[in-house]
């Protein structure tokens, strides 16, 4: 997976799940090039997850590029997202869209690792009883999500301070790695 495509670098062409934070060219400008390179390399179309209001514009850009080239649009799947939408990108990973603060509508993203854990009510039981429950068709595990990485793109510090009081975005402050671009940061926060 990748976050934002202002330019094509390294092995990003191999990434089939791309999460775009907002529509500024330094964050979305290389989507067409990414789709084109994947098509040339005969890779499956990538999925581009974007704030919902951008989806028709990105579709238009892909159509316009095709018209300029006298060809069909590069294969790409545009997936519109709203804040708090969740995307299962693999059996072990989920991405949640979260609101951010920027001068244009934007989203940030939290990558979670999913693990099935034995439900709390069964943890005290011996293995033989757990196995018997499982054979009887009882659901003995539940999915546990661990916030691993968050990417906010361009945002203000308010997106992070709001996360401290909003349980829906609190995981922004619990991740192992937070990637953010903050233009202005009050001096008192730097110390």
What pLDDT does 186 receive?
Answer: 62
Q: Determine the Cα angle at 38 with ends 34 and 39, to 5°.
A: 115
Rounded to two decimals, the pTM is 0.84
Quick check: 183 pLDDT over 70?
no
Write b or e for each residue in 12-31: b if 16 or more Cβ atoms lie within 10 A of its Cβ, otherwise e.
bbebbbbbbbbbbeebbbbb
Which strands make up the sheet holding 86-90, listed edge to edge?
A: 86-90, 93-99, 107-118, 141-155, 177-182
CA dist list (Å): 121 to 117, 126, 130, 142: 11, 12, 11, 11
What pLDDT does 189 receive?
Answer: 57
Quick check: 191 pLDDT over 70?
no
Which tens digits make up the pLDDT trace of 120-170?
888 888 889 889 998 999 898 888 999 999 999 888 777 877 777 778 788
Which tens digits make up the pLDDT trace of 5-47?
999 888 999 999 999 999 999 999 999 999 999 999 999 999 9
| Most confident range, picked from 90-99, 160-169, 170-179 | 90-99
Quick check: 187 pLDDT over 70?
no
């Amino acid at each position: 997976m990748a976050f934002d495509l202002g330019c094509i670098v390294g092995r990003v062409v191999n990434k089939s799940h791309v999460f775009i934070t907002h529509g500024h060219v330094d964050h979305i400008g290389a989507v067409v090039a990414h789709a084109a390179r994947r098509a040339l390399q005969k890779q499956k179309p990538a999925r581009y997850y974007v704030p919902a209001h951008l989806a028709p514009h990105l579709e238009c850009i892909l159509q316009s590029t095709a018209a300029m080239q006298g060809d069909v649009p590069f294969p790409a799947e545009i997936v519109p997202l709203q804040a708090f939408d969740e995307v299962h990108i693999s059996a072990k990973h989920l991405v949640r869209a979260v609101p951010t603060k920027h001068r244009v509508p934007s989203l940030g993203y939290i990558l979670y690792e999913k693990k099935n854990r034995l439900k709390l009510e069964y943890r005290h039981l011996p293995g033989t009883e757990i196995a018997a429950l499982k054979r009887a068709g009882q659901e003995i595990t539940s999915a546990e999500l661990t916030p691993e990485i968050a990417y906010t793109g361009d945002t203000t510090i308010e997106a992070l301070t709001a996360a401290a009081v909003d349980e829906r975005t609190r995981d922004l402050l619990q991740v192992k790695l937070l990637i953010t671009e903050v233009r202005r940061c009050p001096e008192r926060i730097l110390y």
